[in-house]
């Protein structure tokens, strides 16, 4: 059996469903009400009837895999065949689009294509076949690119269906946590939005060739993408500045010998700077002159706005406006539909092949007339503020502060740095615009401050905003106590970042190890069970001392006395903490004596001792009496030799020298 027959069966089932469906005028605005489940489940029997040619072993795993792949291929081929047939009906229609209005036949065909996509969503919900979700993204890409190739009006009509089914897609099809889903959606929307950007042969963007009449649809595509993705989603971004590198289209100024020539020249210079600001980092001197002219232009615009604010005070932002009637709402709605927005000033002379001077003069007159409008001046002030903020943020100090504040560990997004000579001009412009606008329009000042802060927060989210688990920064769920506790524990246990290879907390490794030692009074407290009972130890040593005395062991007694003295001093040291007033009672003089002789000496020894002491006293008195004579007759003393008291005071060596001296004196031959 070939696969052509089941493909035809799938296509017939889908065409039968589309032809029998009731499509009204409100189909593109609200979801379609499907009937019984049989409307969607009719496809299942057709897929089950697919039988491939029998293999040598029909029950093998290969046969089962091939059956599943064949069913997926048949389903996708049948869906694609129906889509191609409906697109061919639009392309072969003789009716033409007039002033953005589609023929009813085209609208009906687009509704059928939309209903086919919604039918696919129901298949995903009912799990009709495994590849239903991937087939949905394939069909969406095919239908969008086909209608976009026909006209913007056709894709805009189909986009009404997508915008009304956003919640349905989020519930059953699109999962923002799945990378493949985000990539598929970005591939679709970027292909639709980037088509309007056209580059010339040198690679520069040509904004004059951009299809600005389709900017409305481009904005709708971006809003749809923003609603589907998370707020801080950075899928596919390379985390670097997208350099605009736009081609300069401003013509050369024609001098009219008017005082407004310098003003127009400053405006044209600013437009050239804003088209490609990175190019001027290579020429610091030219950037300095442009910054000087920009400072003059900003001062002129602020002065004109201050004068205008004095004559025309702004509306009160706290005033409650009365509700508008239905006729007024309809009139404003119809008027806004006819307004075409142009993102920049277009010079007609750039489109003129002949380069007529009259066209240039008309362009200059139109620009001067626009400068008389307060709305245009404020738009230009906001533009100047953003450009000045760009150069201020690219200064060396601000780049370092940005990297530090957002907590990122990557290289800065741009290597270019604003020169210091031009930095003072951009800083002054940014400061003066925010300060002066606060005096005549607080709303504008608030807008400028929020633009500057939001830019910084956006880069912090883009570079380092997401966690590893992929959860968004701005989450709408409530945090419980367990999550907060676990996060706090992670932060407390985090290791500090080491900026160099050899890192010591306290200068040297030795000092770092010592400082890691735990200290504190709580570590010095002594517990009751750790105290020593000195009273028992001292009493035990006293008993041993008495035993040594009875045994007449002098050496043992001396050792025990020294040991007891040490214990006495330790007991006093411990008592100083809470018993320092009783220190005198804890230590007695008898406890410190080295030895005690309790036995009484014999009477004879006492008498001999008394005689020796009396003899020493007599000798001392005799010495005191003979001392003056010794001083008066030194020679006689030398001849007679030393006295008896000196003999007692001399050492044995000195006495030996005296004996030798006497012998030499009595025996000269010796």
Confirm if 437 and 302 have CB atoms less than 8 A apart. Answer: yes
**Tokens 């504008």 identify what position?**
444
Q: Take residue 377 and report the two structure tokens written for it.
A: 């001046």
DSSP secondary structure code for residue 207 in this structure: G
pLDDT of residue 458: 62
Name the percent of the chain in helix, strand, coil, to the closest 5.
Answer: 65, 0, 35
In terms of Cα–Cα distance, which of 316, 430, 300, 266 is closest to 372?
300
Quick one: pLDDT at residue 68?
A: 76
Residue 296: the pLDDT is 94
211 phi-psi bin (left φ>0, alpha ψ -120 to 50, beta other): beta
Q: How far is 314 from 283, CA to CA, in rounded Å? A: 42
Token couple for 669: 């031959």
Give the tokens for residue 563: 């040991």
| pLDDT for residue 630 | 43
In the prediction, which pLDDT does 613 show? 72
Q: What is the mean pLDDT of residues 120-139?
A: 84
User: Cβ–Cβ contacts within 10 Å for residue 352, how many?
Assistant: 14
Do the beta carbons of residue 205 and residue 245 sit within 8 Å? yes
Contact call for residues 548 and 556 (beta carbons, < 8 A): yes
Which of 244, 242, 245, 249 is CA-nearest to residue 209? 249
Q: What mean pLDDT comes out for the span 82-99?
A: 81
| pLDDT above 70 for 648 | no
pLDDT of residue 608 exceeding 50, the answer is yes
- Residue ranges of E strands in 581-638: none
Residue 498 carries which DSSP code? Answer: P
Which is more confidently placed, 365 or 59? 365
Please choose, from the candidates 402, 408, 412, 415, the residue with its C-alpha nearest in 3D space to the C-alpha of residue 455: 402
Q: Is the pLDDT confidence value at 528 over 80?
A: no
The per-residue pLDDT of the chain, averaged, comes to: 76
368 pLDDT above the threshold of 70: yes
Q: How far is CA 132 from CA 64, 65, 72, 127, 129, in A?
A: 19, 17, 8, 8, 6
Burial class (CB in 10 A: 0-12, 13-18, 19+), 102: buried
Q: How confident is the model at residue 240 (pLDDT cuts 50, 70, 90)?
A: very low
Instruction: Measure the CA dihedral 269/270/274/279, to 10°.
Output: 40
pLDDT value of position 631: 43
At residue 334 the predicted structure's pLDDT band, cuts being 50, 70 and 90, is confident
Whether 53 has a pLDDT exceeding 90, the answer reads no
Q: What's the rounded mean pLDDT across residues 587-609?
A: 55
| pLDDT higher than threshold 90 for residue 301 | yes
DSSP state of 321: P
d(CA 176, CA 178): 5
* 577-582-588-594 Cα dihedral, nearest 10 degrees: 0
Q: Are 270 and 297 in contact (CB under 8 A)?
A: yes
pLDDT of 292? 94
Q: Record the pTM.
A: 0.52
pLDDT, tens digit, for every residue of 191-210?
A: 888 776 677 777 777 777 77
Q: Who has greater pLDDT, 422 or 416?
A: 422
CA distance 106 to 113: 11
- Number of Cβ within 10 Å of residue 377's Cβ equals 18
Task: Give me 582's structure tokens.
Answer: 């009783």
Greater confidence (246 vs 371) lies with 371
Nearest by Cα to 294 from 199, 229, 384: 384
pLDDT tens readout for residues 433-472: 989 998 888 888 888 888 777 666 665 655 555 555 555 5
CA 608 to CA 619: how far, in whole Å?
17
Average pLDDT over residues 644-648: 45
Q: Tell me the pLDDT tens digit for each residue of 258-281.
A: 888 889 999 989 988 888 888 888
Tokens of 385: 């503020």
Cα 413 from Cα 458, distance rounded (Å) = 13
Residue 542, CA atoms < 13 Å, CB-side half-sphere? 12
The pLDDT value given to residue 636: 43
Residue 221's closest CA among 144, 167, 146, 151? 144
The C-alpha atoms of residue 74 and residue 4 are separated, in whole angstroms, by 8
CA distances from 222 to 59, 163, 276, 337, 663 (A): 50, 11, 24, 20, 134
Measure the CA–CA gap between 384 and 302, rounded to whole angstroms: 11
Instruction: Please compute, for residue 657, the number of CA atoms within 13 A of its CA located in the half-sphere on the CB side.
Output: 7
Residue % of the chain over a pLDDT of 90: 13
Q: What band does 47 get if pLDDT is binned at 50, 70 and 90? A: low
199 strand-pairing partners: 205
More confident residue, 243 or 105: 105
Lowest-confidence pick of 19-28, 481-490, 554-563: 19-28
Higher per-residue confidence, 611 vs 327: 327
Query: What radius of gyration do the chain's Cα atoms show?
Result: 53
Contact (Cβ atoms closer than 8 angstroms) between residue 205 and residue 199: yes
Tell me: pLDDT of 475 over 80: no
Percent of the chain topping pLDDT 70 = 69
Q: Give the residue with greater pLDDT, 198 vs 122.
A: 122
Contact 228, 162 (CB under 8 A): no
- Please tell me the predicted confidence (pLDDT) of residue 443: 83
Using pLDDT thresholds of 50, 70 and 90, give the confidence band for residue 298.
very high
């Amino acid at each position: 059996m070939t696969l052509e027959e089941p493909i035809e069966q799938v296509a017939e089932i889908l065409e039968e469903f589309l032809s029998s469906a009731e499509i009204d005028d409100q189909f593109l605005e609200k979801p379609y009400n499907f009937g019984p489940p049989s409307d969607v489940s009719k496809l299942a029997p057709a897929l089950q009837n697919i039988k491939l040619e029998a293999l040598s072993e029909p029950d093998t795993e290969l046969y089962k895999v091939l059956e599943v792949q064949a069913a997926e291929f048949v389903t996708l081929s049948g869906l694609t065949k129906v889509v191609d047939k409906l697109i061919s009906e639009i392309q072969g229609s003789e009716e033409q689009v007039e002033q953005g209005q589609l023929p009813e036949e085209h609208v009906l065909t687009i509704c059928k294509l939309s209903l086919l996509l919604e039918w696919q969503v129901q298949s995903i919900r009912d799990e009709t076949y495994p590849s239903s979700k991937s087939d949905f993204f394939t069909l969406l890409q095919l239908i969008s690119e086909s209608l976009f190739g026909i006209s913007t009006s056709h894709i805009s009509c189909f986009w009404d269906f997508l915008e009304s089914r956003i919640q349905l897609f989020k519930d059953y099809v699109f999962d923002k946590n799945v990378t493949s889903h985000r990539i598929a959606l970005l591939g679709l929307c970027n292909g639709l939005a980037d088509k309007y950007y056209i580059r010339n042969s040198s690679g520069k963007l040509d904004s004059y060739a951009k299809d600005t009449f389709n900017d409305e649809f481009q904005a709708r595509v971006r809003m749809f993408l923003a609603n589907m993705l998370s707020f801080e989603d950075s899928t596919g971004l390379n985390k670097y500045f997208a350099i605009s590198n736009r081609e300069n289209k401003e013509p050369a100024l024609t001098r009219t010998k008017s005082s407004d020539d310098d003003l127009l020249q400053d405006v044209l210079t600013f437009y050239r700077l804003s088209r490609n600001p990175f190019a001027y980092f290579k020429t610091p001197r030219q950037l300095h002159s442009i910054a000087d002219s920009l400072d003059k232009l900003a001062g002129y615009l602020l002065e004109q706005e201050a004068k205008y604010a004095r004559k025309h005070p702004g509306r009160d932002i706290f005033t409650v406006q009365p509700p508008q009637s239905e006729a007024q709402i309809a009139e404003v709605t119809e008027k806004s539909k006819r307004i075409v927005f142009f993102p920049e000033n277009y010079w007609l002379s750039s489109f003129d092949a002949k380069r007529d001077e009259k066209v240039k003069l008309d362009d200059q007159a139109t620009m001067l007339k626009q400068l008389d409008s307060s709305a245009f001046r404020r738009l230009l002030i906001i533009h100047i503020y953003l450009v000045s903020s760009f150069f201020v943020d690219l200064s060396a100090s601000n780049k370092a502060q940005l990297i530090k504040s957002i907590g990122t560990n990557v290289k800065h997004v741009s290597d270019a740095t604003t020169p210091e000579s031009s930095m003072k001009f951009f800083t002054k412009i940014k400061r003066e615009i925010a300060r002066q606008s606060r005096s005549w329009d607080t709303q504008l000042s608030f807008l400028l401050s929020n633009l500057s802060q939001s830019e910084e927060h956006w880069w912090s989210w883009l570079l380092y905003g997401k966690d590893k688990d992929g959860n968004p920064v701005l989450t709408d769920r409530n945090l419980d106590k367990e999550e907060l506790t676990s996060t706090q524990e992670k932060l407390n246990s985090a290791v500090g970042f080491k900026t160099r290879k050899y890192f010591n907390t306290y200068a040297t490794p030795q000092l770092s190890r010592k400082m890691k030692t735990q200290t504190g009074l709580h570590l010095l407290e002594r517990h009751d069970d750790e105290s020593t009972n000195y009273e028992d130890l001292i009493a035990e040593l006293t008993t041993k001392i008495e035993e040594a005395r009875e045994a007449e062991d002098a050496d043992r007694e001396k050792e025990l006395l020294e040991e007891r003295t040490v214990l006495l001093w330790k007991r006093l040291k411990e008592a100083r903490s809470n018993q320092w007033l009783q220190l005198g009672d804890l230590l007695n003089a008898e406890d410190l004596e080295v030895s005690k002789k309790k036995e009484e000496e014999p009477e004879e020894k006492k008498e001999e001792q008394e005689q020796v002491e009396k003899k020493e006293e007599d000798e001392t008195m005799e010495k005191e009496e003979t001392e003056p004579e010794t001083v008066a007759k030194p020679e006689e003393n030398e001849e007679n030799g030393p006295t008896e008291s000196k003999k007692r005071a001399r050492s044995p060596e000195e006495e030996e020298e005296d004996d030798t001296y006497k012998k030499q004196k009595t025996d000269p031959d010796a």
